[in-house]
Amino acid sequence: MADDNTSDHIAYAALYSPGPAWQHGKPMEEQGLRNHGLYIRSLRDAGTLIAGGKLGETRGLAVFKTKSLEDAEALLAADPAITGGIFVAELVPWTIAFAIESFPVTPLYR
């Protein structure tokens, strides 16, 4: 059996939910998340973001590929939506058991 480096299959999922600066009654598109979107895009461009996007009407999900939980925590700590209090996030390890090579995406921030 081939040596399987399990850590190659672990990612970290950030579950975003409204923070103290969230403006209740306003849709996500009016929450001032442009800098967050640009930051997440930069992580994608760097190969650190596996996937991310809106989850329902008030939450989001981002899946990071990092070497450690500490690295994933640092990514969240630098996220403008977190530092600005628009979102809070829970970070959980995710063992990727199944995946497809690619799927269509809907860009939100251009």
Residue 60 CA to residue 109 CA, distance in Å, equals: 14
pTM attached to this predicted model: 0.82
As given in the structure block, the two tokens for residue 14 are: 């950030």
Alpha helices (H) in 1-110, listed in sequence order: 34-45, 69-77, 80-83
Give tens-digit pLDDT for 16-69: 999 999 999 999 999 999 999 999 999 999 999 999 999 999 999 999 999 899
Query: When comparing pLDDT for 38 and 6, which is higher?
Result: 38
pLDDT in tens, 78-98: 999 999 999 999 999 988 777
For residue 2, the model assigns a pLDDT of: 33
Over pLDDT 90: what percentage of the chain? 74
